[in-house]
Amino acid sequence: MRILFIHADRFEYEATKKTRYAEEATDAELKGSFGDSLVCFISAEKGDEANPAAIAKKAADEIEDVATQLKETQIVLYPYAHLSSSLARPEKAREIFERLEEAVRDRDLEVHRSPFGWYKAFDLAAKGHPLSELSREVTLEEAVVSPPEEKPHAFLVLTVGGEEVEPEKYTSEREAFDVMVRKEALKEEYPPTGEPGYHRLTRKFGFKWESLSDTGHMRYDPKASLMFDLVADYAHQVAQDLGLPVYPLRGTNMFDLAERAVAEHAELFGDRLYTVETDKRSFVLRYAACHQQFSNMADWTISYRQLPLGAFEVADAYRFEQSGETSLLFRVRRLNMPDLHVLCRDPPEAYDWFLRLHDRIAQEAAAMGRDYEMLVNVSSPEAYQENKDLILEMLKHEGKEGLINIYPPGQNFYWTVNVEYMIEDAERRAREIATVQIDVGNAERFGITYVDEEGKRRHPIILHSAILGSVERYLYTILDTAVAAEKAGHKGNLPLWLNPEQVRFLPVGEDHGELVEEMANALVGIRVGVDDRSTTVGKKVREAKQDWVGYVIVVGEREAQAETRALNVYDRQADKDRVMTLEELREEIGERTLGAPFRPLYFPREISRRPEF
């Protein structure tokens, strides 16, 4: 913070025009006329934002010190952006000035503050003594105060029957639940045991760090890119399949922190923000699809007859994770969140759709071969009591207990219930994947309304949900599931719809190329590769298995001569050779991928034409 002190014989100002950041002010506050006074021209700077209370206290100390030297009791605080080229965001600067006014008044000084965010004309007559003009710089390093004591969270295990048990006294029949309890409630976790097993598979399929970017940013080779797009397609498909209107949206990833709604939402999110500074403004990179969807929906005219309705986007989101904690796919700084927001008229409708979303999340976990454990966060003890019946109903749907995390009272959350769905990964760690949340604050914050039966405008309840989790975490779960299968003695495998190469034909010799081309063309809507290289069949088979191809088919003289065209097919999922006709293979693949999205190969069919990724 920079302060220019003027000991004045006379100081007058008049506000002439609002800026977009202007605070509301009465006619009396828009003008000021003072005789003997200490006028403080003040610029709040970026570095002040981290602790507005502390910087205000330190600045008040400086003002009191100068006022004491000058024997002056009348103080005028005048926001003046021209003292610094590194200004605080307007919303934060306004908060700092409000805190400063209060802190100066606490020192028994008569204080007046000109309104923030207005163009103003002023007239000043300064006294001529040596101390009539002074400047001070106040830094946050000097302004450090002890942080408020963090109140503890209350954890309990809630059983299906409604019994509440202290976490340290509870042992579940499921190791995965105990692992989650140790991590979240008891703050214990299995120590790392070296490189996670799934990292081997990220290399296999082309998920990598981008060395030319910031820590935690990924790049995707063709196989990885294909898998990514298939998951994004599937997430959209799942949202559209819920049984309510879901509107796909798109927009920007950068939002102005001078906007009250954006700044308040960012404040609630915490300290993992990416920001972009321009010459005059500060922006936050979104950390979910909330900003864009809420901005869109605030402009919609919505009737109660149209609710519930949803909005959906696979949104690029940015979270400033600790550099030492980033992990491919699981913890990244740029992620892609298939975010669904459902607008509901009232609590009963919100509770109904909350349970529907919960059931779909559990269904998608089962489709991956996984079972989620539930960490149920509630925003206060009151929110727990108000929503306990809903939580119990959710536990009954699953037939198992949940871990309840009750936040201490006094924090202004926009949500009441937030469920984190966790797996126990192959390294015996609890890992959050999906989520659903009840939001009771952002509709008002962003101005989202609907017209009720009586023609009155009301704010809906918003359900936030990432049914699959982020695209990256869904892929992480798929790869971790394969690693867990390998540890259990089974063949590592991908869901066939997600496998980059579903079928590969291996011609024994050049004479079989035409037949292979005919077979490959017959498998319409299936990703088919052909190993056309001049190398041994044994090598072709080994590499097809190393690439995790779903079905591997050797085509030689026997297949060319056979009237039935019975094929010897290696089935990776079954981990065995099978005899099938081409038509039987096509039908089986159709059954195994029924209802899943499809995209063609992102690389040439022929192995000889592919670079080494």
Q: List the beta bridge partners of residue 335.
A: 317
Alpha-carbon span 351 to 389, nearest angstrom? 10
447 or 278, greater pLDDT: 447
- pLDDT surpassing 90 at residue 410: no
Handedness of CA 341, 342, 346, 352 (dihedral sign): negative
Query: What domains are defined for the chain?
Result: 2-143 (3.50.80.10), 154-244+288-481 (3.30.930.10), 496-609 (3.40.50.800)
DSSP code string of 359-410:
HHHHHHHHHTT---EEEEEESSHHHHHHHHHHHHHHHHHHTS-EEEEEPPTT
276, 268, 314, 307: which is closest to 293 by C-alpha? 314
Within a 13 Å sphere around the CA of 542, how many CA atoms are in the beta-carbon half? Answer: 5
pLDDT of res. 446: 95
Q: List the beta bridge partners of residue 529.
A: 504
Tokens, residue 208: 């990598």
Q: Are 342 and 310 in contact (CB under 8 A)?
A: yes
Tokens, residue 370: 């996984």
C-alpha torsion angle, residues 250, 252, 258, 264 (rounded to 10): 50
Q: List the beta bridge partners of residue 339.
A: 313
Q: Report the amino acid identity of residue 580.
A: M
Q: Are 559 and 515 in contact (CB under 8 A)?
A: yes
Question: What does the pLDDT average to over 272-295?
Answer: 88
179-199 residue pLDDT tens: 999 999 999 987 777 889 999
pLDDT of res. 141: 65
Tokens, residue 428: 């015996």
Q: CA of 99: how far to CAs of 254, 264, 294, 524, in Å?
A: 29, 17, 30, 68
Residues found in the chain: 613
Alpha-carbon span 209 to 244, nearest angstrom? 38
What DSSP character marks residue 254?
A: E
Alpha-carbon span 333 to 331, nearest angstrom? 7
- pLDDT surpassing 70 at residue 66: yes
Q: Where are the alpha helices (DSSP H) in 106-210?
A: 175-184, 198-205
User: Which of 43-47, 267-271, 442-446 bottoms out in mean pLDDT, i.e. has the lowest?
Assistant: 267-271
Number of H helices, E strands in the chain: 15, 29
Helix, strand, coil % over all residues of the chain, rounded to 5: 35, 30, 35
Ramachandran category for residue 182: left, alpha or beta (phi over 0 → left; psi -120 to 50 → alpha): alpha
pLDDT of res. 152: 86
Question: What does the pLDDT average to over 5-12?
Answer: 96
User: Which of 134-148, 200-214, 440-454, 504-518 bottoms out in mean pLDDT, i.e. has the lowest?
Assistant: 134-148
Burial grade of 121 (CB within 10 A; 0-12, 13-18, 19 or more): exposed
263 or 582, greater pLDDT: 582
pLDDT of res. 88: 87
Q: Are 534 and 528 in contact (CB under 8 A)?
A: no
pLDDT of res. 144: 47
Q: Where are the alpha helices (DSSP H) in 454-527?
A: 471-487, 513-522
Confidence of residue 145 (pLDDT cuts 50, 70, 90): very low
Alpha-carbon span 64 to 107, nearest angstrom? 7
- pLDDT surpassing 60 at residue 142: no
234, 257, 223, 335: which is closest to 603 by C-alpha? 223
Question: What does the pLDDT average to over 112-117?
Answer: 95
- pLDDT surpassing 60 at residue 55: yes
Ramachandran category for residue 565: left, alpha or beta (phi over 0 → left; psi -120 to 50 → alpha): left
Cis peptide before 408 (omega within 30 of 0): no
142 or 294, greater pLDDT: 294
Q: Where are the alpha helices (DSSP H) in 488-567?
A: 513-522, 537-546, 557-561
Share above pLDDT 90 across residues of the chain, in percent, rounded to a whole number: 81
pLDDT of res. 149: 58
Question: What does the pLDDT average to over 419-431?
Answer: 95
497, 509, 613: which is closest to 559 by C-alpha? 509
pLDDT of res. 272: 82
Residues 434, 481, 204, CA angle at the centre, nearest 5°?
110
Question: What does the pLDDT average to over 231-241?
Answer: 98
Which positions ≥6 away from 557 have C-beta within 8 Å? 508, 512
Alpha-carbon span 121 to 141, nearest angstrom? 34
Alpha-carbon span 351 to 341, nearest angstrom? 14
Instruction: Give buried/exposed letters for 388-414 (b at 16+ CB in 10 A, else e).
Output: eebbbebbeebebbbbbbbbeeeeebb
What DSSP character marks residue 441?
A: S
Residues 146, 148, 151, CA angle at the centre, nearest 5°?
145
138, 110, 152: which is closest to 52 by C-alpha? 138
Confidence of residue 150 (pLDDT cuts 50, 70, 90): low
Question: What does the pLDDT average to over 409-437?
Answer: 92
* Chain mean pLDDT for the chain: 93
246-257 residue pLDDT tens: 999 999 999 988
Confidence of residue 151 (pLDDT cuts 50, 70, 90): confident
H or E stretch including 52?
helix 52-70
pTM of the model: 0.82
What DSSP character marks residue 327?
A: B
- pLDDT surpassing 90 at residue 282: no
H or E stretch including 17?
strand 2-18
Residue pointed to by tokens 């949206």: 249
529-587 residue pLDDT tens: 999 999 999 999 999 999 999 999 999 988 877 666 789 999 999 999 999 999 999 99
Alpha-carbon span 183 to 171, nearest angstrom? 14
Confidence of residue 511 (pLDDT cuts 50, 70, 90): confident
Residues 367, 396, 384, CA angle at the centre, nearest 5°?
115
